Amino acid sequence: MDPEQVIAGFLRIAAEDLRGARALAEISNRNAIYLRSEAAKKSIRAVLTSEGTHAGVGHQLDRMVDSIRDENPVKKVLREIQGLEIYATAYRYPTTVGRTKPGPDRAEFESLANKVEAVLRELVKRFEVDLSFSLPAGKTDPLR
């Protein structure tokens, strides 16, 4: 594994997920919030990669954030977006009796979107990632 490429890749895909979420939100598509949760997950995975920790599979963002060392300065902001994990499954599939939950209202979506975008900006800056190119991350050390 090349952490420089992996971290940059996670953050580039997270940025693309965020752009897709904005586009889907414009047409009130319920998958917009799912893409927000995916951007949150990829951002958390970039941090875990710098920590030398493999996140495994799944959508349990709280557990992923739990595994980040407390001295990591971005852990607090990652806590603010870990709640997006509910949108990874609960809003994508009907219940066993066929009910579907409506996505979040516009104000809630915007609030969550802004938090994820702020986290991504912070990580791009700290890891020195150019989102427009396929260059590796400039820094990969655990954030302290």
Q: Which CATH architecture has domain 3-127?
A: Up-down Bundle (1.20)
Q: What is the pLDDT of residue 57?
A: 62
Residue pLDDT, tens place only, 54-113: 766 666 899 999 999 999 999 999 999 998 888 777 777 888 899 887 777 888 888 888
Distance from C-alpha of 140 to C-alpha of 115, rounded to nearest angstrom? 23
Does residue 23 register a pLDDT over 70? yes
pLDDT at 92: 76
Distances (CA, A) of 26 to 30, 82, 92, 106, 109: 11, 24, 18, 10, 11
Confidence band (pLDDT; 50, 70, 90) for 136?
very high
Query: Would you kindly state where each structural domain of the chain is located, as residue ranges?
Result: 3-127
pLDDT band at residue 2, thresholds of 50, 70 and 90?
very high
